[in-house]
């Protein structure tokens, strides 16, 4: 089994995806939000590209929750923003979440041709690692990046998942870039690593320091979000 | 001053280069060979793209030395291969070296639109760092990569140069990717880091273990190769 890493959504090609397991990683904050919502009882997350698509779905099913951001902030008319901390309340239990974000949901849409698409974050790194090993396919850890540029937070996230995989199965093959990601994630406290990132400094300016601390927590949840025909569901708790 | 890193030759764009200092990095082995040749008395290195170009130059000036590789091995009819160890002998003193390699010389040709092009390796990381700081421009550390893929050896090389720059001038701005490179280079012994790379395993198979040990030596030389109209020259020893 080969583990490889792609650094931005735009660098992801259909050819690279085909037949593989893809782990979609947008640490700050779409992946962390999806994992948190599903861990806290949300039934499914429907990723959409635009606020218009989201409003359309709400028209058809008024019970859905609309969540997401543009420029980091909640979209006017939406129920919730993109802070994972908003998805720990009981109002999401058993309901579907329609989510649109600047980077993460675009990555998930683009990655949907993969054999299996999982959503990975620091919060569920070990659970995702176990699922990747169970699926026994070459795996692409796909970083969303920020506005199509390399983003340190996603690279650290990818590296943490690589590390968990290698811990369980030391003989997997790593591409050079997967090895680099693992080394970066192992080079210190993830919160500190994240705080140095450009993306993070921007979120801190917007007042999301709490999100950052939360998104840096390793292996808080055992959920593995997986894309199905009904959206992103948590098929089982590991 | 902003430090950024580009991961492969093909990812390098004219727009990204313009007005900047560019440090061309092909640790295994073109950068290391150029640095070694100049440190040992070679007058200038002329990077060319094809063996035909090289033979053409030799016809015009029989005193030039022809060096380089294809698939890692010396080109038939050439004086030397691409092992830096071949460039420590007295026959190169005062002479010009015409060099063609698979990745490195292509990077140098592509990067020649930069305000200043320097050649960086682990062997001269600190000297290059000082020159970058003296030039006071935004700087792009350009990794050659291997056949247009990310290569860990070049990433470690870029990170080592970033680390030397930050040591002298802690307030330079780093892009996320420059920060990641610095962390990877700081995460252990460079020789060990290099040995894990795909590119390195290939060179080891070809019997170039000695090259690897040599190319991993940090700050062996104080030379700063710079591209001029006459080729790559060592304008001064730092």
Name the residue of chain B whose CA is nearest to A153's CA: B176
Distance of CA A15 to the CA centre of its chain: 21
Give the full edge-to-edge strand order of the sheet including A223-228.
A73-74, A65-70, A96-100, A44-47, A231-237, A223-228, A116-120, A21-25, A139-143, A2-6, A173-174
Name the average pLDDT for chain A. 92
Give a yes or no: residue A238 inside a domain. Answer: no
* CATH number of the domain enclosing A166: 3.90.1560.10
Closest CA to B95 of B47, B43, B56, B54: B43
* B101-141 confidence digits (pLDDT tens): 999 999 999 999 999 999 999 999 999 999 999 999 999 99
CA distance A18 to chain B (A): 19
* A116-142 confidence digits (pLDDT tens): 999 999 999 999 999 999 999 999 999
| Residues of B in Cβ contact (< 8 Å) with A193 | 183
Interface test with A, best of B4, B183, B199 (most A CBs within 10 A): B183
C-beta of residue A146 within 8 angstroms of C-beta of residue A103: yes
| Residues of B in Cβ contact (< 8 Å) with A149 | 176
DSSP class of residue A140 equals E
Name the residue of chain A whose CA is nearest to B198's CA: A176
Which region, left, alpha or beta, applies to residue A125 given φ > 0 means left and ψ of -120 to 50 means alpha?
alpha
In this complex, how many residue pairs, one in chain A and one in chain B, have their CB atoms less than 8 Å apart?
55
* A101-117 confidence digits (pLDDT tens): 999 999 999 999 999 99
Give a yes or no: residue A237 inside a domain. Answer: no
| Residues of A in Cβ contact (< 8 Å) with B177 | 150, 152
Give a yes or no: residue A130 inside a domain. Answer: yes
Give a yes or no: residue B131 inside a domain. Answer: yes
Q: What is the spatial distance between Cα A65 and Cα A67, in angstroms, rounded to a whole number?
A: 6
- Residue B238, pLDDT above cutoff 60: no
Which residue among B175, B176, B198 sits closest to A176, beta carbon to beta carbon?
B198
Angle ∠(A184,A188,A193) on CA atoms, nearest 5: 70
Query: How many domains does chain A fold into?
Result: 1
Q: Determine the pLDDT at residue A238.
A: 44
Q: What's the rounded mean pLDDT across residues B44-55?
A: 97
Give a yes or no: residue B200 inside a domain. Answer: yes
Q: Is A124 exposed, middle or buried (0-12, 13-18, 19+ CB in 10 A)?
A: buried
Give the DSSP letter string of A45-98.
EEE-SSHHHHHHHHHH-TTSEEEEEETTEEPTT-SB-S-GGGGSSGGGTT-EEE
* A174-204 confidence digits (pLDDT tens): 999 999 999 998 877 666 667 777 777 777 8
Please indicate whether, in this complex, the C-beta atoms of B149 and A176 are within 8 angstroms of each other. yes
Domain that holds residue A31: 2-232
- Which range (A181-185, B5-9, B79-83, B190-194) has the least confidence? B190-194
Query: ipTM value of the model?
Result: 0.83
- Residue A236, pLDDT above cutoff 70: no
Give a yes or no: residue A138 inside a domain. Answer: yes
Q: What is the spatial distance between Cα A47 and Cα A54, in angstroms, rounded to a whole number?
A: 9
* B161-180 confidence digits (pLDDT tens): 999 999 999 889 999 999 99
Q: Considering Cα of B216, then B221, then B227, then B229, what sign does the dihedral take?
A: negative
Q: What is the spatial distance between Cα A48 and Cα A125, in angstroms, rounded to a whole number?
A: 24
* A79-105 confidence digits (pLDDT tens): 999 999 999 999 999 999 999 999 999
* B177-198 confidence digits (pLDDT tens): 999 999 998 877 666 667 777 7
Q: Residue A102 is encoded by which pair of tokens?
A: 């600047």
Give a yes or no: residue B235 inside a domain. Answer: no
Give a yes or no: residue A98 inside a domain. Answer: yes
> CA-CA distances (angstroms) from residue B38 to B27, B47, B89?
16, 13, 12
Greater pLDDT, B85 or B171: B85
Q: Which helix (H) or strand (E) holds B168?
A: helix B152-168
């Amino acid at each position: 089994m080969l583990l490889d890493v792609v650094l931005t959504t735009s660098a992801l090609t259909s050819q690279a995806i085909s037949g593989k397991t893809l782990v979609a990683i947008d640490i700050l904050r779409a992946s962390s939000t999806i994992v948190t919502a599903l861990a806290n009882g949300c039934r499914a997350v429907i990723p959409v590209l635009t606020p218009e698509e989201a409003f359309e779905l709400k028209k058809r099913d008024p019970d859905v929750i609309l969540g997401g951001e543009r420029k980091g902030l909640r979209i006017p008319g939406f129920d919730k923003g993109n802070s994972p901390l908003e998805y720990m309340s009981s109002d999401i239990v058993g309901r579907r979440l329609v989510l649109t974000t600047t980077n993460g949901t675009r990555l998930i849409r683009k990655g949907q041709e993969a054999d299996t698409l999982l959503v990975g974050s620091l919060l569920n790194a070990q659970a995702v690692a176990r699922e990747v090993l169970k699926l026994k396919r070459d795996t692409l850890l796909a970083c969303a990046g920020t506005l199509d540029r390399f983003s340190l937070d996603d690279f650290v996230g990818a590296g943490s998942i690589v590390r968990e995989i290698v811990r369980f199965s030391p003989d997997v093959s790593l591409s050079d870039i997967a090895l680099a990601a693992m080394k970066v994630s192992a080079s210190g406290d993830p919160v500190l690593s994240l705080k140095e990132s450009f993306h993070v400094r921007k979120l801190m300016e917007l007042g999301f320091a709490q999100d950052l601390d939360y998104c840096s927590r390793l292996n808080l949840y055992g959920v593995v979000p997986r894309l199905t025909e009904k959206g992103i569901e948590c098929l089982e708790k590991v």
